Structure 1
């Protein structure tokens, strides 16, 4: 018969919606214990068991007392110190979940476990590539295999490990497995392992910690929220060492920066894991020093036994003796040129994709090539036809343009906000887009609001489009040179605070709007003079320039300041994938324009009315009407909003280049996001947070050479 304790336990377990197994797991007790207590078979639970069950059921104070009394126990009252709120704790937990989900998905997408992982092994690196054991923290055995990567890392006293290997030797596979295994085994106090692709780091421009904070904010927008010490949450996590940097691709840092990068790494004491090709790291060490306090390992080549255990499992095609890969494996055993090629996971994965996953492709074709270089070029060149089939000829130029674009920028990140930025004519293209958008806006608004004559309307629209295109094209050129356009990581909210940032943004709007207004005044005066020869050019220009510079400047200042007051960081639920970040920026920009247009239109209507009244009082001849003023406000609001979006926001730049110009010139497809996502699903690209990358740097180099 169940005891009072058992009845209470069952009642509160059912209230919590837990099975006996779930409660046992949550309380870290045996299932037999829970079952025995509920049935009355066990009537004398230990104090620790009662406390664990009460904690697992999240009982209130009164309920805990009742449960302990039913067990014949009395829970000692412990006067605990007040719990201090850790503002980084929630960010850490959210980051853990996001990182684990991201890299587990990437591992599945890369078919790492299909059908089994390729064996990745390593040996201790030569002494010249590691620091002394005294600095590392005690000598340790470093040899190991993929499923031991966390264990080997923890043997290193300094928690600083360098992983070296040839191109395609499995460094990326190792970093992914390291992150997932560490997250699965880590203590709550351990830092979150985060993979950073070092190819975008310029150590001469930005320090390691600042760069890491920028990358975290890019991939996880919620970390752009204010941190406890005034900076961002991302910066606070880095400074507090709540993030364990997994620095992938030291060799991918721009040429000439490897030694400065190693010097910068040596100024830190951060625990880290660093990957690199052997030659680039050895050269950097020769010019500076080894990574301070770091042990080092070198990835080993795949063996013939590894291939014999893996390749036949990847296909059901019949061959000699039931194994279509037998001729290839025999050649590898005999030490032919194939033995030089099929020693890295990259080349084996390409061979598997081309011959095991594709019908009517016989791997014996590899025996027809005479040199290792020919085989590698064949595998790289056959990858896209194997993946895309009949569409390969269509997509190859698009992939080639992306690869060449990345090489020009000196990066491996296909960032949507950088598409088109490698063009030498980018400012001209932006200016053309702005000019067309503003000219069409003016033509439509003039025709609807005031019924302007066709000739005069076309003339004025062309002139204002030309002037605005030049102004905003130059503005884009200047901004892109000083601070490249990046995605916004804020949203608009109804409540904001007015501070120094708001006033600075307001002054920026005042200056910028004044310049645009002055240009508008000149164009308007010239247009009137061309259509009406009796128009007083000198006084007309001075009045128009002064009026429109004042009105447009004040209007833009009000809007810029209002936007700054309403901006707040993106919330935690905002995802950092490329498509999600594009969508977040699109929504932000559209909300910005929907705020900009009515505020600017109403302000200009009222301000021009006030100016007209003042000029009339000063005996100036002024022609003004509410309809004309509203028309001017709408043209300025809609046209100015479009010009700002297209030239001075990352999303507008994306629209101009990725959705219009590059597809129009045949260099990229019209539906670029769908194309990138499809290439990712086919395994041509991989995803690293908010950016895509080619599956391997060698594929990027291969496609770049095709252009």
Structure 2
């Protein structure tokens, strides 16, 4: 998007600067030489102060990490325990949501196949022993942790498979099995979809950043050996206390596959544990362009047997006999029919079960319909019918939708799928939905409002500091309290708003109650220094406390995330950011109240008072809210609703899609159940037909 390009913003700021310089020159010319000197001193003095403030804030944002804690074995053990509990909670709930155990887990099988052997180092290199023999790595879904923990295994594994072969389902189960059997000193298995990783960033740093973002405790800054300051997450990764399970190498851009393998090999070293999944062809190309991963066995998922598919479909649907008889007969024939090819992957078997779940459906069309003459035709049909079938059925506490409502849901999901395709991602993050048209136009308006409000906040900051000195003389009883409070709030709102405006990328934030030493040094203490120099130390103390305590409340300077009490989820992130926005809103309203009391009463013009009231009490709070991720999301969903592209209760819609199995949850973001489904929806035309023949 254009607003993400630094070069675009350079030219925008250049045009604004040139326009401001021209307007200023005209204004000073009109004022005449007699008043031009005074105006120049005021304007350029304020500009210089603003430049110093922005520069100081930029340094502050880099240094604003607070005091570093001490790394102790007890602290590391507690962090691992918290992370393990959060992982168990998150992925247990997701396993239930994906209906993996309903009616029973499909018997996914794997082995070191011929294709896997071609992209793997020799067994001697894998085991690190000359002339070493093979490791027995064949297994099924329920024994995946036993195979990974085999005494001869290096605790490293690459899992290959065709699209829909069950790779994500398998490693989710592996994660839970390893978590449940983890010993006190074992590394914590962490399942991480790698679609958002840029291999230019070291893998260890990316893993640590993800953990610090997703888990509050792990974002704590600690002092490592040698005096190095880094997050607790980075310390856990550096000490080998994290077992990364990296799902979806093929979801990174194809040009980055070989670089990703090199980065994984470099991060893993000679003994670090990890698991990696990928589509077979993508991994073959990556190894061809680089080299096989050292000390890492490779297995390939095998096609499902017709018997497993038949049993799953009959056990998991209403009144299977005689509805499924034509399909069962075709599967029992043992030939290489299009239907047998299609129902050889867990994804397609699950799709067939959902589409033909109920007794009034006719699975016999999988054999007799015209589109059933090819595997591509059957797969396209199942993908096309998933959303109508999922929405017209009653799921959990949600009633079945009408066909018209299901079709409307399909169109809205198509909008989201196309957005993800444009962004080249599979992560559906609610705080990035403002990039769906007409979201960019709405963002332009919010940027304008926020920019004007920032200038207003800077003005209030300047007047607030002067008011801190003048009010005690005008109001001997409580002038020192009102002046200090007004100055401190103005400084806090100004710095917090500037941080919200210029910090990128915007991410859900949570309320930060305590301020760092740098905040007190660069934001709060200067208010007190000015007051002391002006002879009002009491007002300075009030202003210092107000600025130091309220600045972190406005900026919301900590990323939201899960903790040991609550797993990470999109709804949790939304709640955190909404709370942060409301706290900042309350602080801005308090500033408007103090500013109105100190500045508004001096005006004798009703029109000026009304305008001042509108700008102060409406524009400033609106800008504080719109500069938050939640505020941007609210503006975007309102615009999408007015255009008929999304419901007003967008989070509720996403939650329902997740409950119905169309979306899955990966930490704080949603994803389509499979990227084949996302690609299929993104390729649909406005009339609902597919733009291409195959999914």
Work out whether the TM-score is over 0.5. yes
| Higher RCO (CA 8 Å, separation ≥ 6 residues) | 2
Structure 1 match to 2:647: 669
Report the TM-score when normalising by structure 1. 0.68
Query: Which among 94, 100, 110 is matched to residue 106 of structure 1?
Result: 94
Query: Which among 262, 284, 287 is matched to residue 285 of structure 1?
Result: 287
Distance in 2, Cα, partners of 1:627 & 1:94: 58
339-348 or 236-245, larger mean C-alpha shift: 236-245
Structure 1 contact 250–275 (Cα < 8 Å) conserved: yes
Structure 2 match to 1:124: 112
Structure 1 match to 2:517: 499
Structure 1 contact 219–577 (Cα < 8 Å) conserved: no
Is 2:141 the partner of 1:141? Answer: no
Structure 2 match to 1:88: 76
Structure 1 match to 2:633: 654
Structure 1 match to 2:672: 694
Structure 1 match to 2:273: 271
Residue 144 and residue 649 in structure 1: after superposition, are their counterparts in 2 closer, same or farther (change >3 A)?
Answer: same
- Post-superposition CA distance 1:36-69 (Å, at most 9, x none): xxxxxxxxxxxxxxxxxxxxxxxxxxxxxxxxxx
Name structure 2 gaps, 5 residues minimum: 1-70, 129-133, 393-402, 454-497, 528-543, 686-695
SS of structure 2 residue aligned to 1:256: helix
Structure 1 contact 577–691 (Cα < 8 Å) conserved: yes
SS of structure 1 residue aligned to 2:254: coil
C-alpha displacement of 1:600: 5.3
Is 2:152 the partner of 1:173? Answer: no
- Post-superposition CA distance 1:125-181 (Å, at most 9, x none): 433311233332254111111122112112354322100000000101111110111
Query: Which among 576, 591, 600 is matched to residue 584 of structure 1?
Result: 576
Is 2:431 the partner of 1:417? Answer: yes
Structure 2 contact 450–501 (Cα < 8 Å) conserved: no
Residue 705 and residue 330 in structure 1: after superposition, are their counterparts in 2 closer, same or farther (change >3 A)?
Answer: same
Structure 2 match to 1:361: 361
Structure showing greater Rg: 1
Structure 1 match to 2:481: none
Residue 427 and residue 375 in structure 1: after superposition, are their counterparts in 2 closer, same or farther (change >3 A)?
Answer: closer
SS of structure 2 residue aligned to 1:182: helix
Residue 173 and residue 624 in structure 1: after superposition, are their counterparts in 2 closer, same or farther (change >3 A)?
Answer: same
SS of structure 2 residue aligned to 1:244: strand
Distance in 1, Cα, partners of 2:640 & 2:340: 43
Residue 699 and residue 278 in structure 1: after superposition, are their counterparts in 2 closer, same or farther (change >3 A)?
Answer: same
Structure 2 match to 1:635: 615
Residue 636 and residue 559 in structure 1: after superposition, are their counterparts in 2 closer, same or farther (change >3 A)?
Answer: farther
Query: Which among 416, 425, 430 is matched to residue 443 of structure 2?
Result: 430
Could you say what the CA RMSD is over the residues aligned between the two structures, in angstroms? 3.7
SS of structure 1 residue aligned to 2:435: coil
Structure 1 match to 2:473: none
Structure 2 match to 1:370: 373
Structure 1 contact 399–703 (Cα < 8 Å) conserved: yes
SS of structure 1 residue aligned to 2:361: coil
Residue 640 and residue 694 in structure 1: after superposition, are their counterparts in 2 closer, same or farther (change >3 A)?
Answer: same
Residue 302 and residue 506 in structure 1: after superposition, are their counterparts in 2 closer, same or farther (change >3 A)?
Answer: farther
Residue 216 and residue 673 in structure 1: after superposition, are their counterparts in 2 closer, same or farther (change >3 A)?
Answer: same
C-alpha displacement of 1:231: 2.6
Structure 1 contact 358–386 (Cα < 8 Å) conserved: no
146-155 or 582-591, larger mean C-alpha shift: 146-155
Structure 1 contact 601–633 (Cα < 8 Å) conserved: no
Residue 256 and residue 579 in structure 1: after superposition, are their counterparts in 2 closer, same or farther (change >3 A)?
Answer: same
C-alpha displacement of 1:507: 12
395-404 or 380-389, larger mean C-alpha shift: 380-389
Structure 2 match to 1:400: 414
- Post-superposition CA distance 1:604-652 (Å, at most 9, x none): 754799xx9xxxxxxxxxx679997898487336422321331x32112
Distance in 1, Cα, partners of 2:433 & 2:555: 30
Is 2:352 the partner of 1:351? Answer: yes
Structure 2 match to 1:182: 178
C-alpha displacement of 1:569: 7.6
SS of structure 1 residue aligned to 2:110: strand
Report the TM-score when normalising by structure 2. 0.69
Residue 630 and residue 197 in structure 1: after superposition, are their counterparts in 2 closer, same or farther (change >3 A)?
Answer: same
C-alpha displacement of 1:655: 1.2
Distance in 2, Cα, partners of 1:675 & 1:90: 37
C-alpha displacement of 1:256: 1.5
Distance in 2, Cα, partners of 1:322 & 1:164: 31
Structure 2 match to 1:158: 154
Distance in 1, Cα, partners of 2:526 & 2:407: 49
